[in-house]
Amino acid sequence: MYNIQPVAEDVFYVGASDRRLAKFENLFPIPRGVSYNSYVIVDEKTAVLDTAAASVSAQYLENVAAALDGRPLDYLVIHHMEPDHCSAIEAVLARWPTAQLVCNDKAADIMTEYFFHDDETAVDASLRMKEGDTLFLGRHELTFVMAPMVHWPEVMMSVDAATGILFSADAFGTFGALDATIFADELRFEEEWLPDARRYYANIVGKFGKQVQRVLKKAKALDVRMIAPLHGPVWRKADGIAWLLGKYDLWSRYQPEDQAVVILYGSMYGNTASAAQALASRIGAAGVPTAVYDISVTDKSQAVAECWRASHIVLAAPTYNGGLFPPMEDLLNDLKALNLHNRTFALVENGSWSPASGKLMAAKLAELGEPDDCRLLDAILTIRGALCAADTPVFETFADAIAADFR
């Protein structure tokens, strides 16, 4: 059964949600599913904006046909050619063979690496957009805005002059299937969706803060009245759009959202865990919001997202094979790859005969951002196997120094 939703006059949502996929990009768990959004504009000319993933392509094609309602398709616009959005390109062109591809030079290059192996006629005949170029559809006219590296190099966005819809590609998207509504203002977004939106941003786009900042500057000059991303709900209320732009501004400048502590610990036998819990209780008792995660059981994408959220990060890990506990090493490698910086860190190391994890974690932190972008609180708390009553003064001094940093 087709399922299309009106977004604005002549503009239809034709995307579909996947609730079966376990991991997005085969990396990030998505227990709430994910939507692959696509839009159809039915005007003097008709246009499909992006396609969908292979897993939902049957539903997607049924939706497109319903939205076109027998009209021929004039344009297939590709804002972002990553296969989660473009697996159905060839199927769309096979079903509506008169449609002309609209993309940019970079997208055309990359598309031929993934698709069109036997016949590149459609790519060769494509309309190539550059910054500021327009596509006239009738009442609707799309103006294209290049957004390289948000999230791949070929990404572009477009804004529709008639409706003020910014078709924003991956930007402003989120994990999470769309259920009864496609509109953010009909969801409890901040309560129920924000953690997944942050996790999506940090892990998918987090590395590209400078590029996101460039797009945000461009967006300020546009008449944006709605945001229609390729994942997650559509934004149509001014206050919601302002709130979302504010989140993206913070995230892309690597500024924390919350003055808060996140404790991320690895623990083989529970002793580092015990220290982390005691630390959380003492910092929390000082009135500082504090969250605790075991990085052996918390998905790394969630740990990364929490590092994006909080101002202070405590890393606690055993020494392992003379090196760093592997899940902690993995997390720190990811934070570096994603370019996290502008945070304050405190370190807890554990090691019976030769504790080294504190020094190793400090060395990894020194690689985050530019030199001195991250601050390391002075003392490293060293645990020899397990904390005991005799360690209380040292432990309390360490915990109180973290809490004091909030005053």
The site for ligand FEO (CB under 6 A) is made up of 80, 82, 84-85, 151-152, 170, 230-231
- Which residues are within 8 A (CB) of 110 and not within 5 positions of it... i.e. 6 or more apart? 81, 152, 153, 154
Residue 32 beta carbon to ligand FEO: minimum distance, rounded to whole angstroms: 16
Nearer to ligand FEO, 57 or 382 (CB): 57
Residue 83 beta carbon to ligand FEO: minimum distance, rounded to whole angstroms: 8
Residue 84 beta carbon to ligand FEO: minimum distance, rounded to whole angstroms: 4
Residue 312 beta carbon to ligand FEO: minimum distance, rounded to whole angstroms: 31
Helices 392-404 and 271-285: crossing angle, nearest 10°? 50
Residue 309 beta carbon to ligand FEO: minimum distance, rounded to whole angstroms: 22
Nearer to ligand FEO, 54 or 65 (CB): 54
**Phi/psi-derived region of residue 221, left when phi > 0, alpha when psi is between -120 and 50, beta in every other case:** alpha
| DSSP-derived secondary structure for 137-206 | -SS-EEEEEE-TTSSSTT-EEEEETTT-EEE-TTTT--SB---S-SBGGGTTIIIIIHHHHHHHIIIIIG
Q: Which pair of structure tokens corresponds to residue 305? A: 């997202």
Closest residue to ligand FEO, based on beta-carbon distance: 82
Nearer to ligand FEO, 87 or 126 (CB): 87
Nearer to ligand FEO, 77 or 260 (CB): 77
| Contact between 38 and 86 (Cβ < 8 Å) | no
Nearer to ligand FEO, 71 or 210 (CB): 210
With CA atoms as reference, report the closest residue to 151 among 35, 231, 92. 231
Nearer to ligand FEO, 80 or 236 (CB): 80
Nearer to ligand FEO, 170 or 306 (CB): 170
| Contact between 314 and 261 (Cβ < 8 Å) | yes
Count of positions (residues) in the chain:
407
Residue 328 beta carbon to ligand FEO: minimum distance, rounded to whole angstroms: 28
CA distance 109 to 114: 9
Residue 341 beta carbon to ligand FEO: minimum distance, rounded to whole angstroms: 23
Q: Angle at CA 34, nearest 5°, toward 28 and 36?
A: 120
